[in-house]
Amino acid sequence: MRTYLECVPCIIEQTIKTARDLTQDWEKKEILVQKVLETLSNISYNQSPPYLGREAHRVIRKILDNPDPYLKMKKEFNRVGKELFPSLQKRANHSKDRFADAVKLAIAGNIIDFGPQHHFELMRTIDKVLLAKAAIDHTGSLRDDIESASTILYLGDNAGETFFDKILIEKMPPKEIYYGVRGSPVINDATSEDAYWAELDKVTKIISNGSDAPGTILEDCSGEFKDIFARSDLVIAKGHGNYETLNEIKGKKFYFLLMVKCETIAKDVGCSVGDFVVKKIQNAVQP
Amino acid sequence: MRTYLECVPCIIEQTIKTARDLTQDWEKKEILVQKVLETLSNISYNQSPPYLGREAHRVIRKILDNPDPYLKMKKEFNRVGKELFPSLQKRANHSKDRFADAVKLAIAGNIIDFGPQHHFELMRTIDKVLLAKAAIDHTGSLRDDIESASTILYLGDNAGETFFDKILIEKMPPKEIYYGVRGSPVINDATSEDAYWAELDKVTKIISNGSDAPGTILEDCSGEFKDIFARSDLVIAKGHGNYETLNEIKGKKFYFLLMVKCETIAKDVGCSVGDFVVKKIQNAVQP
């Protein structure tokens, strides 16, 4: 997906939020915003939003002189995910349609970055999602495609959400499953460390994509990751960033599991803000 | 008032709205946003938001090759203002406290730029404002200060809103009143042309400030305007832009008439978004 004009102020707002959260130094905040503006003024919006995000967050890390500004937040999300995990498992195991509810739980996990919430609130939101209907629902087809696949690549999104992904992966039949994560810290996105913390190595092979983009920019990924991507029968991709970087890739079968958080994505996907979505996309390879 | 970090994405959103409204050419839209980002990356945020706005709108006019991109919108607002004027006058004349209600009407006129509204809706909003209580209300003091003033400078804001200002000015005792407008087109702000269209020359002396900022940056204004400013006993200033550029000026008696449209101004003024405000500010001159 290309960058829509509306994505630009959104990335700048993220920058400002980071500036506010991570430094008290007014001059540093101002330089941070100015440098991000300068950076975003030099990139073609034919690139995807995570491409712009990658550049912006490189600037942020450099100016804050901090290789992982969101580390504390990620630790908190990991802690919350770990604490919730047993009750999530219980829900998934006491369900009429365990697979469909596990898909919903995986998507519900995407709300973990909606700011600090009490467990009680988080659980209430999860309950709501379990009762709601997906705006676009290709869960049946996903189930069939998992059944017939040999190799599956599951692309994670945020730290802590990893535990919700594990719920879904545990409901899949035994296959060769790779759990893809970002190659190095960017925002609160899950890296290998977060995936191991959720013990995803017990149910998948954890694979770093080698990139610091908040999405999956294939040209940016390691050879090893690209090989696994190429030979996977199926890619399950979580969250906005993965959708924005992969939705136009040709010749691959994708299932995008999304909580729709902004108008731009809603328009692109064809639904409303607040919807959740299980959307299959398989673009034809042009001859 | 300095530029808060939150003002930056807001100015960029305005730019995007302009780009959308005024050109179909995608490449031009992209260049417009990129050039505004570049411009805003080179200005200190110790400047006021209208300083940044001035620079952004200079870029917009240049790239669109259009000296007055909002001309059509201003004409529409002027038309609406003119049509409403007789009924506004009637309301002001059939009121228990004519002056206080004229102040409210002048502030209500500030909603004219909230996008195209039907007259009916506009009148309903005006009715609401007339019934509501100002969050900060120095109307009594304003009345007294007008009474004792010899020369008054009234600073307008948007085209069309000029008619609402006229209602208030008609309720003032006969004094030397100047109606200040922007020196040349910027956004939908009133210039001399709009003031004459509202026949404000019949009740005031219309004075251009000589600047293309969406506010009143004194260093930027003409000598003539600065003279009038200096010898005015009282400045009545409408809207965000005038507040942002004048609220810290020392040694002058200001009354800011505002409809509070964003969190940043709300915080600075000390009220909530949606409030309306009649706020006296007179900063002491430091010895």
Collect the ranges in chain B with pLDDT lower than 50: 115-116
Residues 6 or more apart whose CB falls under 8 angstroms from that of B4 comprise B45, B49, B264, B268
The domain that contains B93 carries what CATH number?
3.40.50.10880
Contact at 8 Å (CB) between A69 and A61?
yes
Q: Of B151, B259, B242, B125, give the one whose Cα is nearest residue B190.
A: B242
Of B13, B29, B37, the CB nearest to A37: B37
Residue with tokens 């600075």: B268
In this structure, the answer to whether residues B183 and B245 fall within a common structural domain is yes
In this structure, the answer to whether residues A105 and A46 fall within a common structural domain is no
In this structure, the answer to whether residues B161 and B243 fall within a common structural domain is yes
The region, left, alpha or beta by phi > 0 then psi within -120 to 50, assigned to residue B115 is left
Q: Provide the sign of the torsion angle of the four alpha carbons B197, B203, B209, B210, taken in this order.
A: positive
Of B9, B19, B44, the CB nearest to A12: B9
Residues for chain B: how many in total?
287
Substitution target from B5, B20, B29, B59 for chain A, most A beta carbons within 10 A: B5
Q: pLDDT tens, A175-228?
A: 999 999 999 999 999 999 999 999 999 999 999 999 999 999 999 999 999 999
Grouping H, G, I as helix, E, B as strand and the rest as coil, residue A194 is helix
Residue A1 lies in a domain: no
Give the per-residue pLDDT at B112. Answer: 73
Q: Provide the sign of the torsion angle of the four alpha carbons A241, A242, A245, A248, taken in this order.
A: negative
Burial B67-95, CB ≥16 within 10 A → b, else e? eebbeebbebbbebbeebbeebbebbeeb
Grouping H, G, I as helix, E, B as strand and the rest as coil, residue A24 is coil
Cα B84 to Cα B158, B201, B208, distances in angstroms? 15, 19, 25
- Which of the listed residues B37, B64, B91 is the one where a domain comes to its end? B64
In this structure, the answer to whether residues B183 and B107 fall within a common structural domain is yes
Range of the domain at B179: 71-281
Q: For chain B, which residues lie within 8 Å of any Cβ of chain A, measuring from their own Cβ? A: 5-6, 8-10, 12-13, 16, 19-20, 29-30, 33-35, 37-38, 40-42, 44-45
Residue B287 lies in a domain: no
Q: Give me the helices (H) in A132-280, please.
A: 139-148, 161-170, 192-197, 223-231, 239-246, 263-269
The size of the A-B interface in CB pairs under 8 A is 58
In this structure, the answer to whether residues B41 and B134 fall within a common structural domain is no
Mean pLDDT for back-to-back runs of 10 residues, chain A (287 residues):
93 88 90 96 95 96 94 92 93 91 93 61 79 94 97 97 97 96 96 98 98 97 98 97 97 95 93 94 88
Residue B273 lies in a domain: yes
In this structure, the answer to whether residues A150 and A248 fall within a common structural domain is yes
In this structure, the answer to whether residues B54 and B157 fall within a common structural domain is no
Cα B280 to Cα A131, B137, B142, B204, B283, distances in angstroms? 54, 9, 8, 22, 10
Of B5, B16, B40, the CB nearest to A5: B16
Grouping H, G, I as helix, E, B as strand and the rest as coil, residue B136 is strand
Q: Of B113, B91, B108, B114, give the one whose Cα is nearest residue B257.
A: B108
In this structure, the answer to whether residues A146 and A186 fall within a common structural domain is yes
Question: What token pair was written down for B260?
Answer: 């509070």
Question: What token pair was written down for A257?
Answer: 């599991």
In this structure, the answer to whether residues B216 and B269 fall within a common structural domain is yes
Give the per-residue pLDDT at B116. Answer: 45
Residue A78 lies in a domain: yes
Question: What token pair was written down for A116?
Answer: 């600090």
Cα A252 to Cα A154, A277, B54, B221, distances in angstroms? 13, 19, 48, 61
Residues 6 or more apart whose CB falls under 8 angstroms from that of A126 comprise A88, A91, A105, A108
In this structure, the answer to whether residues A36 and A85 fall within a common structural domain is no
The helix or strand, by DSSP H or E, that contains position A278, with its residue range, turns out to be strand A276-281
Question: What token pair was written down for A85?
Answer: 């995990």
Give B45 to chain A, closest Cα distance, Å: 7
* Binary contact (A9, B29; C-beta < 8 A): no
Give the per-residue pLDDT at A128. Answer: 82
Give the per-residue pLDDT at B113. Answer: 66
Q: What is the DSSP letter of B112?
A: G
Per-residue HEC secondary structure of A247-266 comes to CCCECCCEEEEEECCCHHHH
Half-sphere exposure of A273 (CA within 13 A, CB side): 4
* Binary contact (A41, B41; C-beta < 8 A): yes
Question: What token pair was written down for B187?
Answer: 């956004």
CA triplet A48, A52, A56: central angle to 5 degrees?
160
Question: Which ipTM was obtained for this model?
Answer: 0.87
Question: What token pair was written down for B53?
Answer: 């706005």
Q: Provide the sign of the torsion angle of the four alpha carbons B134, B137, B140, B141, taken in this order.
A: negative
Nearest CA in chain A to B14: A9
Give B24 to chain A, closest Cα distance, Å: 13
The helix or strand, by DSSP H or E, that contains position B257, with its residue range, turns out to be strand B254-259
Half-sphere exposure of A174 (CA within 13 A, CB side): 1
Of B33, B41, B44, the CB nearest to A8: B33
**Which residues in chain B touch residue A29, judged by CB atoms under 8 angstroms apart?**
5
* Binary contact (B12, A8; C-beta < 8 A): yes
Q: Are strands A254-259 and A151-155 parallel, antiparallel or unpaired?
A: unpaired
Residue A269 lies in a domain: yes
CA distance B113 to B125: 13
Give the per-residue pLDDT at A116. Answer: 45
Q: Of A215, A277, A213, give the one whose Cα is nearest residue A248.
A: A215
- Which of the listed residues A64, A79, A102 is the one where a domain comes to its end? A64
Interaxial angle between packed helices B239-246 and B49-64, expressed in degrees from 0 to 180 and rounded to the nearest 10: 130
Residue B201 lies in a domain: yes
* Binary contact (B33, A6; C-beta < 8 A): no
Q: Of B271, B273, B270, give the one whose Cα is nearest residue B262.
A: B273
Give B26 to chain A, closest Cα distance, Å: 10
Residue A286 lies in a domain: no
- Which of the listed residues A64, A91, A113 is the one where a domain comes to its end? A64
Residue A287 lies in a domain: no
Q: Domains in chain B: how many in total? A: 2
**Which residues in chain B touch residue A5, judged by CB atoms under 8 angstroms apart?**
16, 19-20, 29-30, 33
Contact at 8 Å (CB) between A213 and A50?
yes
Q: For chain A, which residues lie within 8 Å of any Cβ of chain B, measuring from their own Cβ? A: 5-6, 8-10, 12-13, 16, 19-20, 29-30, 33-35, 37-38, 40-42, 44-45
Half-sphere exposure of B72 (CA within 13 A, CB side): 7
In this structure, the answer to whether residues B119 and B258 fall within a common structural domain is yes
* Binary contact (A33, B6; C-beta < 8 A): no
In this structure, the answer to whether residues B234 and B137 fall within a common structural domain is yes
Give A9 to chain B, closest Cα distance, Å: 5
* Binary contact (A16, B5; C-beta < 8 A): yes
